[in-house]
Chain A
Amino acid sequence: MIDFDNISKIYPNGTHALYDVNIHIEKGEFVFIVGSSGAGKSTFLKLIMHEETPTSGEITINGKKISKLKRRDIPYLRRHMGIVFQDFRLIEKMNVFDNVAFAMRAVGESSATIKKRVPYVLDLVGLKNKMKDKPSELSGGEQQRVSLARALVNNPEIIVADEPTGNVDPEMSHEIIELLNEINAKGTTVLVVTHEHDLVREFHQRVITIDHGRVIADTKDKRVSENPFAVDDFTDDPHYPDNAVVLPD
């Protein structure tokens, strides 16, 4: 579903954000992306969303080569994706219903479809009774669930979430990932960037570790899940997981 083939990204200011990244993500997978600040995690997601384009290499999404994409095709690529932001990005003056409906209006859905679909999705994230509330009247966790509902409402095949739990308290974080897990169980591919060890540990899933722009581990191995930020410690270990991608410095 998502293929990174020798991807490098150098920003116009010269920052080398990613080096030779090779990643293959199957449809229906759940992937955590971890790494220290400035490692290149957000860059990785932005390349998938086509907010940025790679400096070299080829990205293939749903069998389509991104380098062959025309400008006018990009919106249609994005309709396959639901994006969740760390800062929720909800429109303050709109209530919960309208915030979610906004994503449907933006792709030209009819009001009849919107009226049916939005309450259904809000029910999925457990906010059906808060439809008329403004974002400012909600807790961080609830706001993130609205954002998640908005990402889901157009029925995407991939959910891309950049630190969705960064601005919510730990208990709520757990709930958010739990929701993403449920969504994933229904067949949606889910990519989550996170800094929270506890979550990675708790939901035993594939973990991609990025460090200084390189993928230094990509595995479902328990030792990585359990200590995702100490991956450097394993790389010297002879028992380092076989399926982990290890790139020399």
Chain B
Amino acid sequence: MKGFGYLAKEGLRNVWNNRIMSIASVCVLVSCLVLTGAAALFSINVAQVVESVGDSNETTVYLKSDVSRLEAVYIGKDIEKLDNVVSTEFLSKEDALEQYKDELGDELFAQIEDRNTLPDAYVVVMEDLSLYDDTVAKIKSIDGVDSINDHRELAKKLTEISNLINIICVGVVSALMIISIFIIANTIRATMYSRRFEISIMKSVGATDSFVRMPFLIEGVVIGIVSAAVSTGAISLLYESVMSAITSMIPFSYIPLSNVVLYVSAAFAAAGIIVGFFGSFISIRKYLKKEGNEILGW
């Protein structure tokens, strides 16, 4: 386009001249983007955890409480005989309680120790997970086996939670997106209002609509890009600290930021540009339809 350099300069000048509104727009858009980004990062981490849990070939088999130690040994042998089972490891109810010792504290632990209602269990490692259901059914049919801690159940639960969070986020994010577009539209409208005199002159000397529009579109897009950059910075800072806080409570290996930062910033940039563009586009349309003194409100 002829004179693009001039129009780009005008667009940047608009951002600066209208800086209070520009900053407000950036803030709203940043909060929107950071929320979206956080939700996305959360769900990919859950997905990763689900995958690792689902793929783990360790399955805990709980035994009925009336099974004696000797019977338990035979049950263990029966399990080990199954084709798909690689190894079994006995986890007595004392061992199981021991795992909770730290959390319970010595005093409480001493009280509970005598009334241990935890079941004895076997940790079973399977070879081929595609035969999982089949193997589980066979284990369940062994006398004295009570239940099986199906990791798939856990995986399913986590996925459900993650889906729910995603749905909520989609709702919140679309609301914020609409608000962002609205705020940007208002910002651009304010700029257009302050420049209505120039606009009326441009139109009277024969400037095309796209020419009149360009600086304002640039203004919107610049707001979008700045927001995307700020959001990328904010989420990078937040991610590492939030993740190290979470993993100190629930240890799991989260996806390192460096793996995703490129996608996150690209998505932010795209979203920022789209929101900025549409925000300004809708407010300009109204103005471009006006002619002469109408623009000036006379």
Report if B98 contacts A (CB, 8 A): no
Q: Is the CB of A79 within 8 A of B197?
A: no
- A89 CA to B296 CA, complexed, in Å: 11
Q: Is the CB of B3 within 8 A of A76?
A: no
Q: Which of B2, B6, B205, B208 contacts A72 (CB 8 A)?
A: B208
Report if A112 contacts B (CB, 8 A): no
Q: Is the CB of B2 within 8 A of A83?
A: no
Report if A229 contacts B (CB, 8 A): no
Report if B202 contacts A (CB, 8 A): yes
Q: Mask for A201-221, Cβ within 8 A of B = 1, else 0?
A: 000000000000000000000
Asked, given contacts A46-B292, A51-B291, A108-B3, whether A91 binds B208 with beta carbons under 8 Å apart, the answer is: no
Chain A residues whose CB sits within 8 angstroms of the CB of B204 once the complex forms: 49, 51, 78, 83
Report if A75 contacts B (CB, 8 A): yes
Report if B96 contacts A (CB, 8 A): no
Report if B190 contacts A (CB, 8 A): no
- Of A20-28, A32-40, A98-106, A166-174, the stretch lying at the interface with chain B is A98-106
- A96 CA to B200 CA, complexed, in Å: 18
Q: Is the CB of A107 within 8 A of B1?
A: no
Q: Is the CB of B201 within 8 A of A102?
A: yes
B69 to nearest A CB, angstroms? 90
Within B171-228, the residues touching A (CB, 8 Å) are 197-198, 200-209, 211
Within A83-135, the residues touching B (CB, 8 Å) are 83, 89, 91, 102-103, 105-111
Asked, given contacts A75-B209, A105-B3, whether A52 binds B201 with beta carbons under 8 Å apart, the answer is: no
Chain B residues whose CB sits within 8 angstroms of the CB of A76 once the complex forms: 206
A115 to nearest B CB, angstroms? 13
Chain A residues whose CB sits within 8 angstroms of the CB of B198 once the complex forms: 91, 102
- A77 CA to B203 CA, complexed, in Å: 11
CB-nearest residue of chain B relative to A46?
B292
Q: Is the CB of B292 within 8 A of A106?
A: no
Number of B positions contacting A (CB below 8 A): 19
Report if A195 contacts B (CB, 8 A): no
Report if A154 contacts B (CB, 8 A): yes
Q: Is the CB of B205 within 8 A of A106?
A: yes
Report if A150 contacts B (CB, 8 A): yes
- A110 CA to B50 CA, complexed, in Å: 60
Chain B residues whose CB sits within 8 angstroms of the CB of A154 once the complex forms: 205-206
Within A37-86, the residues touching B (CB, 8 Å) are 46, 49-52, 71-72, 75-79, 81-83
Q: Is the CB of A105 within 8 A of B6?
A: yes
Chain A residues whose CB sits within 8 angstroms of the CB of B209 once the complex forms: 71-72, 75
Q: Is the CB of A108 within 8 A of B2?
A: yes
Asked, given contacts A51-B291, A51-B292, A52-B291, whether A107 binds B197 with beta carbons under 8 Å apart, the answer is: no
Q: Is the CB of A75 within 8 A of B197?
A: no
Chain B residues whose CB sits within 8 angstroms of the CB of A110 once the complex forms: 2-3
CB-nearest residue of chain A relative to B1?
A108
- A46 CA to B293 CA, complexed, in Å: 10
CB-nearest residue of chain B relative to A73?
B208
- A154 CA to B206 CA, complexed, in Å: 10
- A51 CA to B298 CA, complexed, in Å: 14
Chain B residues whose CB sits within 8 angstroms of the CB of A107 once the complex forms: 205-207, 211
Chain B residues whose CB sits within 8 angstroms of the CB of A77 once the complex forms: 206
Beyond known contacts A78-B205, A83-B205, A107-B205: 19 more, CB 8 A cutoff: A49-B292, A50-B291, A52-B291, A72-B209, A89-B201, A91-B201, A102-B201, A102-B202, A102-B205, A103-B205, A105-B3, A105-B6, A106-B202, A106-B206, A107-B207, A107-B211, A108-B211, A109-B3, A154-B206
22 contacts between A and B (CB under 8 A): A46-B292, A49-B204, A71-B209, A75-B207, A76-B206, A77-B206, A79-B205, A91-B197, A102-B198, A102-B202, A103-B201, A103-B205, A105-B6, A106-B206, A106-B211, A107-B205, A107-B211, A108-B2, A108-B3, A109-B2, A110-B3, A111-B6
